[in-house]
Amino acid sequence: MIAVQGRPERVPIAAATAPRSGFQAERLLVIDPLTRRFGDYRIRELPQLFGPGDLLVVNDAATLPASLQVEPQLELRLVSVEADGSFRAIAFGAGDFRQATEQRGAPRPLHDGERLLFGSELAARVVHVDPQASRLIRLRFESSGAAFWSALYRYGKPIQYSYANQPLQLWDVQNRYAARPWAFELPSAGHPLTFEALFEIEKRGAALTHVTHAASISSTGSEELDARLPLAERYEIGTEAARALTQARHEGGRVIAAGTSVVRALEGHADRNGSVAAGSGETSLRLSSSYEPRVVAGLLTGLHEPGTSHFELLEAFAPKQLLLRAVDHAARTGYLQHEFGDSCLVLAGALLERLAA
């Protein structure tokens, strides 16, 4: 360990550079704010941490091919769909997926009314350029229905990541239970969840339900744009989910969210007392240490470095000092981060029984 002025240097968490094939062997760091402990597990052991009455909520959004190349030096990443059917997008300049977003060149200016051609069957018109951030635009595609969706899937690619060792295919960025393509980036907390694990969680008397949330871009490469994240993201909470949430609430079951997108949908939609009705809407809720969750008791997520917005969000569920110790342990013992990385469960009381045993 290298010490600088008596303080141990922070070790970065290594990146998982490709989708993983180690069926359920991915690691799971369990952080328990109640006992102020953390422990090493594997994803296959996740069901053991659930008990009767608990409720796991996943985001069933499939991931869109949200990256569109307009010109060799102009990429658009779709980031949201508006109520009027137009899309918001962020422009990226020279470079490709091997470069971190902050190292990409500035895109050429885009103009209101400009027509963008993505391929012979897909074109759009720029209908708005954000006055504060010219890389953020709104565009309207010229086609609709099956013609639009076929063309989007034909010309679009999944948003790529600089840490990946090869370009990601559409199937690399889908969760096993994905349905409607609402997400602009993979809701990655669900990626290691196998049906083996999901069925086992149910066998233990816990319940499983889903919301749909349009998880969007996590990094734009620009500080001023990043400061505006998360952008308003749409979500839908079905009657089945609302029923399951009400039941868990009445019976004292813990609600565990698979991913920050689920937290945002549930906390953003809940009323003051933490009750969640069926419905849909948009949320730009940003969670941090000052936020007190009203619905979600626990969070299954990836490993996140201190200083990121995801880490900040974790602070709504566990004290910072505990998180820092746990993440330092993770970094030093080879946990992997990013979309295909290892997992982390923050849940009060998760390690109680282990302690007693």
Residues that bind other proteins (CB under 8 A): 58, 60, 62, 64-65, 145-146, 149-150, 152-154, 169-171, 174-181, 195, 198, 208, 210, 240
Q: How far apart are CA 345 and CA 28, in angstroms?
A: 7
Among residues 238 and 306, whose Cβ is nearest to other proteins?
238
First-to-last C-alpha distance (Å) of the chain? 33
Nearer to other proteins, 62 or 323 (CB): 62
Beta bridge partners of residue 80, listed in sequence order: 88
Burial 176-197, CB ≥16 within 10 A → b, else e: eebeebbbbbbbbbbbbbeeeb
Minimum Å distance from CB 226 to other proteins?
28
**How open is the CA angle 184-256-227, to the nearest 5 degrees?**
40
Residue 333 contacts residue 308 (beta carbons within 8 Å): no
Q: Which helix (H) or strand (E) holds 90?
A: strand 87-92
Residue 87 CB, nearest distance to other proteins (Å)?
13
Q: Which is nearer to other proteins, 233 or 315 (CB)?
A: 233
Query: Which CB sits closer to other proteins, 66 or 217?
Result: 66
Smallest CA-to-CA distance from 19 within 153, 155, 167, 156 is with 167
d(CA 249, CA 239): 15
**In sequence order, which ranges of the chain are alpha helices (DSSP H)?**
145-155, 195-203, 223-226, 239-251, 260-269, 309-314, 320-332, 352-356
Nearer to other proteins, 34 or 179 (CB): 179
Smaller CB distance to other proteins: residue 115 or 180?
A: 180
Q: CB of 69: closest distance to other proteins in angstroms?
A: 17
Amino acid letter for position 98 = R
Q: Which residues pair with 129 in a beta bridge?
A: 137
User: Looking at beta carbons only, is 64 or 242 nearer to other proteins?
Assistant: 64
Residue 106 C-beta: closest distance to other proteins, Å: 31
Closest separation in Å from C-beta 211 to other proteins: 11
The nearest distance, CB 182 to other proteins, in angstroms, is: 9
* CB contact at 8 A, 231 and 78: no
CB of 310 to other proteins, least distance (A): 25
